[in-house]
Structure 1
Amino acid sequence: MLYYLFQYLDKVMDVPGTGVFQYITFRSSLALLLSLLLSTIYGKRIIAFLSRQQVGETVRELGLAGQNEKAGTPTMGGIIIIFATLVPVVLFARLHNIYIVLLIVTTLWMGTIGFIDDYIKIFKKDKQGLKGIFKVFGQVGLGVIVGSVLYFSPVVTVKTDTASSKIFQQTSQTVVRSASMEEKSTVTTIPFVKNNEFDYAKILEWIGPDYEKWAWLVFIPVVIFIITAVSNGANLTDGIDGLAAGTSAVSVFALGIFTFVSGNIIFSNYLNIMYIPHSGEMTVFIAAFLGALIGFLWYNSYPASVFMGDTGSLTIGGIIAVLAIAVRKELLIPLLCGIFLVENFSVVLQVSYFKYTKKRFGEGRRIFLMSPLHHHYQKKGYHESKIVTRFWVVAIMLAILSIVTLKLR
């Protein structure tokens, strides 16, 4: 909203200094600062409100040190993250941008699913929360919306041949002239590979010469799978104080770098990567989201004053997935979100191996002392602060390696 006000003041009223709002870097900085302030200042009030409503966490008997002390700690703290993200976005982002619209829809959609799940657990006293099938329906529904918009919207285009762009200085500004046109495409990026573009449509080449118009049959299911997997991975990672918010902040920061360079023709030309018009605006959303996650850590670090609940974890996973897909870096998710992947995989391995050994030997056996993986280390006697810090270090290493893929091919 402020973006449009200052645009009016600059273009119509010619007020000096108001043109600075045209710059993504300036608006992203304001979004980051405001989200930090909102999450830290108003976060305390939201926590107090949740406490008055007796929105306390019900702790299962897991036999973990310090677990019982967490009973009664306010949950649904994801409201803080959503609030501190959306307010700066509404104020500083271009709300007509298709990517910003998708991210706002994702935030509200996944936040609503998580809120319903937390509400059932807390107020309906049902520890299972929202039935898994309904969660999946919600995730699939969002995947269909995101996939359809990215595939069918004429605004969503890419330009892979950035090397053909001519960049030169004219007066005081940089001018870019493109030799090749932007186009609709289902192309994505394969990390660590030279000439690393892959088109999902190629999977359907066997259909015939018109195979490209059926590419949505591949693209949309891929989007659904990624959103479902990443949101569930974030949900499983939210098990000890500060783990999900901290590791997510690292991944979001890396995605911010990808988004900024992919949405800038100069940087994309220099790095010889795919240029995605209008995607740079997502940097404003990412800055607000990053500030909200860091601000939330003020209250979620050990010992936590609030838990994010499914309201936060499902929202975080959904946003990260949509960001990665929009910037054509979804194939990098196993590396960038390696913590989510390992947490998810540890549960799958544990359950599968238990069922297999029970069927074969009559007695279920386990690979880990407990899953997800962070509980395994708790069982081994590690303090949760040490586990969280080490997971953060691993997340930072994975993020750096992900960023390196911009040049390492």
Structure 2
Amino acid sequence: MLYHLLYPLHSTYSVFNVFRYITFRTTYAVLTAFLICFLLGPWVIRKLAQLQIGQHIREEGPKGHQKKTGTPTMGGTLIVFSLTVTTLMWSNLSNYYVWILLLVTIGYALIGFADDYLKQVKKQNMGLSPRNKFILQSLLALIVSTLIYICPDFSSTLIFPFLKNFSPDLGFFYIFFASFVIVGTSNAVNLTDGLDGLAIGSTIIVAVAYMIFAYVAGNIKIAEYLQIPYVAGSGEVAIFCGSLIGAGLGFLWFNAYPAEIFMGDVGSLSLGGIIGTVALITKQEILLVIVGGLFVIEALSVIFQVGFFKLTKGKRMFRMAPLHHHFELKGWPEPKVIIRFWIIAIALLLISLSTLKLR
């Protein structure tokens, strides 16, 4: 909005020429999103408490978590609001990818909202059934994947880090692959959201990586120099990622241990959908396994736990899954688990950025 209102004035007032630069708008998108979350956070927490929308803690979970019962949840609405408003303020709204990302954000947020509403307001412990939730996620992912696939000049090839000459073209099947990435990432982030600040902190780290990837992929000279795919228009995705970072930092202010608010499925499902979609747009979908490695590990720990339990008829691979609960039950204090997992996420971020030169 500001880009369209103020940049045209640069011919008269040269100061407005700064709105041309993605780096400028990304910087202020981070700050704007942070301020919106930071300023609205206390009001949202009070409102959720007044509405008695508090987190229900499962009895089979770690015993130390029972004290969190009643903490206001569905705080993901604050993240989504801040992210959406900031993106509309600072992005070039004629950009195709910006609207795809807003569709993913709002669409997955609505699925998560419906699930949270049934659980927290209607007191239906299951919320949306796993089957219905998966169907809704998959339908939205198929729509988004198709929109990406039909985008002019978008390539359906897969780029593998460290393998310069291996780029298989999936053709039409790219839609199904992309849908798997979006749904898988959405659920992986949802599984990671089990400790105060763990999911949002990890999401911020991943968003930093993809903000950089989006910027370099959208600059034809830098993309050519780094020998990565040039994706016309993907530079604006960096502004969206900046908005996500700012909103995440603002939410983390209140979600840090001990949390005053939880994001709920309305936050975790939408954040995962965003990460998966950004990975597809920037043509770094395979690298997501490294960038979002922490989410992958958390999801795999659940899959392995369930599989091992069935194969051995009752034995467990971990003390509890997802993996962060395993370390809690080993005696690690919650803040130690969170910070160590963030350290792992930062290490994976650095490894992923190194691939820009290792082609």
Match of 1:77 in 2: 75
What letter matches 2:5 in structure 1?
A: L
C-alpha separation between the residues in 1 aligned to 2:18 and 2:166?
36
Decide which of 116, 126, 129 is 1:128's aligned counterpart. 126
Q: Deviation per CA, 1:359-394, whole angstroms, max 9, x where unpaired?
A: xxxxx1101111110011111111110000000000
C-alpha separation between the residues in 2 aligned to 1:123 and 1:85?
25
- TM-score, normalised on structure 1? 0.86
Match of 1:114 in 2: 112
Query: Cα offset for 1:408?
Result: 1.5
Q: Does 2:15 align with 1:5? A: no
What letter matches 1:372 in structure 2?
A: P
Match of 1:36 in 2: 34
Query: Cα offset for 1:196?
Result: 4.6
Unaligned 5+ residue runs, structure 1? 158-183, 201-214, 359-363
Decide which of 45, 66, 69 is 2:64's aligned counterpart. 66
Decide which of 22, 25, 45 is 1:24's aligned counterpart. 22
Match of 1:163 in 2: none
- TM-score, normalised on structure 2? 0.97
Q: Does 2:162 align with 1:192? A: yes
Decide which of 184, 193, 197 is 1:238's aligned counterpart. 193
C-alpha separation between the residues in 1 aligned to 2:332 and 2:322?
15
Query: Cα offset for 1:286?
Result: 0.5
Decide which of 388, 400, 406 is 2:350's aligned counterpart. 400
C-alpha separation between the residues in 1 aligned to 2:90 and 2:256?
29
Unaligned 5+ residue runs, structure 2? none
C-alpha separation between the residues in 2 aligned to 1:199 and 1:123?
46
Query: Cα offset for 1:294?
Result: 1.2
C-alpha separation between the residues in 1 aligned to 2:45 and 2:136?
27
Match of 2:245 in 1: 290
C-alpha separation between the residues in 1 aligned to 2:113 and 2:145?
24
Q: How does 1:220-231 map to 2 (within 5 A)?
A: 220-231=175-186
Q: Deviation per CA, 1:304-343, whole angstroms, max 9, x where unpaired?
A: 0000000100011000000001111111111111111111
What letter matches 2:66 in structure 1?
A: N
Match of 1:15 in 2: 13
C-alpha separation between the residues in 1 aligned to 2:61 and 2:180?
34
Q: Does 2:311 align with 1:311? A: no
C-alpha separation between the residues in 2 aligned to 1:338 and 1:20?
36
C-alpha separation between the residues in 2 aligned to 1:95 and 1:134?
33
- Contact 1:100 1:282 (C-alpha < 8 Å) held by counterparts: yes
Query: Cα offset for 1:271?
Result: 1.1
C-alpha separation between the residues in 2 aligned to 1:61 and 1:219?
42
What letter matches 1:127 in structure 2?
A: N
Query: Cα offset for 1:153?
Result: 2.6
Report % sequence identity.
43
Determine helix, strand or coil for the equivalent of 1:197.
coil
Number of aligned residue pairs: 359
What letter matches 1:394 in structure 2?
A: I
Q: Does 2:343 align with 1:388? A: no
C-alpha separation between the residues in 1 aligned to 2:58 and 2:149?
43
- Contact 1:65 1:378 (C-alpha < 8 Å) held by counterparts: no
Query: Cα offset for 1:10?
Result: 2.6
Match of 1:101 in 2: 99
CA-based RMSD of the aligned residues comes to 1.2
Match of 1:262 in 2: 217
C-alpha separation between the residues in 1 aligned to 2:89 and 2:351?
33
C-alpha separation between the residues in 1 aligned to 2:38 and 2:166?
41
Q: Does 2:98 align with 1:148? A: no
